[in-house]
Amino acid sequence: MGPRLLLVPLACLALLLPPPGAAEFSPSLDSDFTFTLPAGRKECFYQPMRKEASLELEYQVLDGAGLDVDFHLLSPKGETLVFDERKSDGVHTVETEDGDYMFCFDNTFSTISEKVIFFELILDNMGEDGQDEEDWKKYVTGTDLLDMKLEDILESINSVKARLSKSVQIQTLLRAFEARDRNIQESNFDRVNFWSMVNLGVMVVVSAVQVYMLKSLFEDKRKSRT
């Protein structure tokens, strides 16, 4: 069966692209997505990018045997930019050009276990800085009297926005790590319970056999003569 190509849901793309005419301080967009990849399947997603922008993609396998998956990142020209073979996580950043970038998660090597995969996209320089600055200048008057520069305001707000975005990104990654660790703990808990029951069953059978053998040693097997 060939690879199955899925488009990113429209709701996710709507979050990644700014509304028309909206002014931004420092264009930086991010979104995250979690999905289940069945055994023997391959899922691909598309992300439209602009020239001289930056695409950062981080993924983690949260659940599934081996916690591994194959990852491919292809350029709009179909060139392979990144290939990870059977890894549990990865972080990749590429400078982009105009076009649709495709990234795929491949679980065809697994015939039984499905994988739960989390990935996050961080897009930088997706807007037009010059136009955004002109939009904000329309709302600023009397800067000479106040001895204040628009560039200083934008720089301060950019710094705050960058720190907040980084905090949100770190919190998202921590939640992903927590989910993966919890899945591992639950899997270990089920495995311990299973083997404990197996050991208990073996002990019961061995005890029964020992009692039977000891009892047979004291039976009188002599036949009475007539």
pLDDT digits (tens, 9 = 90+) for 71-111: 999 999 999 999 999 998 898 999 999 999 999 999 999 98
Query: For residue 203, what pLDDT is reported?
Result: 92
- Say whether pLDDT at 162 is over 70: yes
Q: Tell me the pLDDT of the chain averaged across its residues.
A: 77
- Report d(CA 214, CA 84) in Å as an integer: 61
- Write out the two tokens for 121: 């996209």
- Say whether pLDDT at 142 is over 50: yes
Contact partners, residue 222, CB within 8 Å, separation at least 6: none
Annotate 13-25 with b (16+ C-beta within 10 A) or e (fewer).
eeeeeeeeeeebb
- Is residue 106 a contact partner of residue 45, using CB atoms and an 8 Å limit? no
H or E segment and range at residue 175: helix 150-217
- Is residue 29 a contact partner of residue 107, using CB atoms and an 8 Å limit? no
Query: For residue 2, what pLDDT is reported?
Result: 44
